[in-house]
Amino acid sequence: MGALAYFLSWRCHGTWLPGDERGWVDSANNLYGTPMWEGDESLEGAIREEHEVEGRELDERAREVVRKAIVDHCAHRGWVVLAINVRTNHVHVVVVAPEHRPEVVMGQLKAWATRRLREAELRTAGERVWAREGSTRYLYDDVAVAAAVDYVVNRQGEELA
């Protein structure tokens, strides 16, 4: 049996780097249930400086552009958005798109959101908007779908304007 839906999450570029005090993962330590690396201020600072990373958050207008781009692209593709929450530094989407792998869906959503941000002149042509990858979770039953929707809609902290 295939997944009923996908729970997709991704961050804005530069808003959660290796060394971040909240903990972090890398490609060798990213399996579900494995512990995160502890914060390391000097590592985070070195990476930010070496790669000239400036974390860019989404303001109210940018969040609305991203939300609309995701909803519009899903409608165009025939995908069903069950929940969406665009935060200042990350995005969560629960989507039904059975004919595609979640990585493909997330890639398209990030690309279209970037395109719309640039068209609205909220990001420049060469500016990185999103972190390179993201989280893709397969939701195989109604309980998992309901839990993901609840998390996206009700468990993201205070509601943003």
What is the DSSP secondary-structure string of 8-76? EEEEBTTSS-TT-TT-B--TTS-STTPPPBPP-HHHHHHHHHHTT-------HHHHHHHHHHHHHHHHH
If one counts the domains in the chain, the total is 2
Look at residue 28 in the predicted model and tell me its pLDDT: 66
- Residue 45 and residue 88 share a domain: no
Whichever domain contains 142, its CATH number is 3.30.70.1290
Q: Are residues 107 and 34 in the same domain?
A: no
Q: Strand pairing partners for 127?
A: none
Closest CA to 153 of 102, 81, 103: 81
Q: What percent of the chain has pLDDT over 90?
A: 60
Q: Which of 40-44, 95-99, 106-110 has the lowest mean pLDDT?
A: 40-44
The answer to the question of residue 160 being in a domain is no
Q: Which residue has the higher pLDDT, 12 or 17?
A: 12
121 and 137: one domain? Answer: yes
Do 34 and 61 fall into the same domain?
Answer: no
The pLDDT value recorded for residue 158 is 82
Question: Is residue 145, in this structure, part of any structural domain at all?
Answer: yes
Q: Is 159 among the domain residues?
A: no
Average pLDDT of span 74-95:
97
Q: Would residue 161 count as lying in a domain?
A: no
User: b vs e for 78-106, b when ≥16 Cβ sit within 10 Å of the residue's Cβ?
Assistant: ebebbbbbbbeebbbbbbbbeeeebeebb
Both 120 and 136 in one domain: the answer is: yes
Q: Can you give the pTM of this predicted structure?
A: 0.83
Higher local confidence (pLDDT), 142 or 16:
142
Residue 134, pLDDT above cutoff 60? yes
What residue numbers bound the domain in which 82 lies? 5-12+56-154
Same domain for 89 and 48: no
Question: Using 50, 70 and 90 to split pLDDT, how confident is the model at 16?
Answer: low
Is 114 within 8 Å of 129 (Cβ atoms)? yes
**Who contacts 11 (Cβ-Cβ below 8 Å, separation ≥6)?**
89, 90, 130, 131, 134
> What does the pLDDT average to over 85-98?
96
Q: Are residues 75 and 118 in the same domain?
A: yes
